[in-house]
C-alpha cells in the first residue's frame, strides 16, 4: 500500500501529543489507505492517494511487491514512527512524483507489532523502517461526523484562517486562544471572529469568503456562494 507523506503529515498535525489517551498519540491507517488523526478536539481524515499504484514503486532489494497485496488490517502507527518517516523522506525529485509516497508492507505489518515501511526516496540507499504500532482500540471517530446535509457552505482561504489564529495567539501571548466565530444566516456573508485577552483587549476580525467554482478550481477573492448555486 502506498502512503502519501503529505497525508501522513496532515493527519499527524491533528493527532495528540503526549495525551493520556495513548491511542490518540498516533495516526490510524485504514484498509483503503485513509489516514486519521485526532486529539479529541479536532479530527482529521485524509483520503488515500489514487495517482499511483503499488506495483509502480521503485524496486527495493530483498522486497517483493506482490501482484495482489494483502489487505491491511487497520492499525495505529505511533507518532514517533510517523515523525521518523517524515524525517527520512526529504524532498523527492520532481521528475519522480511517486516518491512522495512510502510503501507500507501490508503482509509484514499484519504479522506483528510493527508497521513495516519501505522508503525509496534515496534510490541509491532505500530504507526499511520498522515502526511501533499502538495497541488498543482507536476511538470510533465516524460517530462524530455530521450525518445531516449542511445548510450552506462557505469557502475560506486557509492562509487567512492561519493568520487569524496567529493574530489571536499574539494578542493572548500564548498558543492557546479561544476564538468566537460568528456565521450569519446568509451564506454570502463574511465570518466575524472575536477574542479577548486577560487584559480586556479584544480582537475583532472579519474574514472574507471565496467564490469558488469546483469545476474550474479557481478561488477569486469575492463573496461566497451557496452550495446549491
Mapping DSSP onto H, E and C, the string for the chain reads: CEEEHHHHHHHHHHCCCCCCCHHHCEEEECCCCCEEEECCCCEEEECCCCCCCHHHCCCECCECCCCCCCCCCCEEEEHHHHHHHHHHHCCCCCCCHHHHEEEECHHHHHHCCEEEEEECCCCCCCEEEEEEECCCCCCCHHHHCCCCCCCCCCECCHHHHHHHHHHHHHHHCCCCCCCEEECCCCCCCCEEEEEECCCCCEEEEEECCECCECCCCECCCCCCCCCCC
| Domain map (residue ranges) of the chain | 2-144, 147-229
User: Predicted confidence band at 223 (pLDDT cuts at 50, 70, 90)?
Assistant: very low
Please check whether residue 33 is in contact with residue 50, taking contact to mean a CB–CB distance below 8 angstroms.
no
The pLDDT tens digits of the residues spanning 79-108 come to: 999 999 999 887 777 788 899 999 999 999
pLDDT for the residue 132: 95
Reported as a pLDDT band with limits 50, 70 and 90, residue 37 is very high
In tens, the pLDDT along 126-151 reads 899 999 999 889 999 999 999 998 87
Interval 150-201: pLDDT, tens: 877 788 889 999 999 999 999 999 888 999 999 887 656 789 999 999 999 9
- Tell me what pLDDT residue 143 has: 94
Of all residues in the chain, the percent with pLDDT exceeding 90 is 63
Give the tens place of pLDDT for each residue, 180-191: 999 887 656 789
CATH topology of domain 2-144: DNA Polymerase III; Chain A, domain 2 (3.10.150)
- Angle, to 10 degrees, between the axis of helix 79-89 and the axis of helix 5-14? 140
pLDDT tens digits, one per residue of 42-60: 999 999 999 999 999 998 8
Q: Supply the pLDDT for residue 187.
A: 59
Among 26-35, 52-61, 62-71, the range of highest mean pLDDT:
26-35
pLDDT of 212 higher than 70: no
Give dist(CA 128, CA 62) in Å, integer.
10
With 0.75 as the threshold, say if the pTM is over it.
Answer: yes
26 pLDDT more than 90:
yes
Which residues are CB-contacts of 214 (< 8 A; sequence separation ≥ 6)?
none
Amino acid at each position: 500500500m502506498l502512503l502519501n507523506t503529505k497525508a501522513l503529515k496532515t493527519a499527524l498535525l491533528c493527532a495528540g501529543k503526549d495525551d493520556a489517551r495513548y491511542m490518540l498519540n498516533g495516526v490510524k491507517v485504514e484498509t483503503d489507505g485513509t489516514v486519521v488523526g485526532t486529539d479529541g478536539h479536532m479530527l482529521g481524515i485524509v483520503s488515500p492517494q489514487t495517482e499511483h499504484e503499488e506495483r509502480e514503486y521503485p524496486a527495493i532489494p530483498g522486497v517483493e511487491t506482490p501482484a495482489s497485496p494483502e489487505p491491511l488490517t487497520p492499525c495505529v502507527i505511533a507518532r514517533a514512527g510517523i515523525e521518523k518517516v517524515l524525517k527520512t523522506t526529504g524532498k523527492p525529485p520532481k521528475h519522480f512524483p511517486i516518491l512522495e509516497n512510502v510503501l507500507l508492507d501490508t503482509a509484514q505489518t499484519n504479522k506483528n507489532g510493527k508497521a513495516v515501511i519501505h522508503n525509496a526516496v534515496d534510490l541509491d540507499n532505500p530504507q526499511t523502517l520498522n515502526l511501533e504500532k499502538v495497541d488498543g482500540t482507536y476511538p470510533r471517530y465516524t460517530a462524530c461526523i455530521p450525518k445531516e446535509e449542511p445548510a450552506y457552505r462557505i469557502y475560506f482561504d486557509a492562509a487567512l484562517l492561519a493568520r487569524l489564529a496567529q493574530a489571536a495567539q499574539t494578542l493572548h501571548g500564548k498558543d492557546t486562544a479561544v476564538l468566537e466565530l460568528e456565521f450569519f444566516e446568509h451564506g454570502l456573508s463574511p465570518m466575524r471572529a472575536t477574542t479577548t485577552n486577560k487584559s480586556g483587549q479584544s480582537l475583532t476580525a472579519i474574514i472574507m469568503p471565496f467564490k469558488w467554482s469546483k469545476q474550474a478550481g479557481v478561488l477569486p477573492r469575492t463573496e461566497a456562494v451557496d452550495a446549491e448555486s
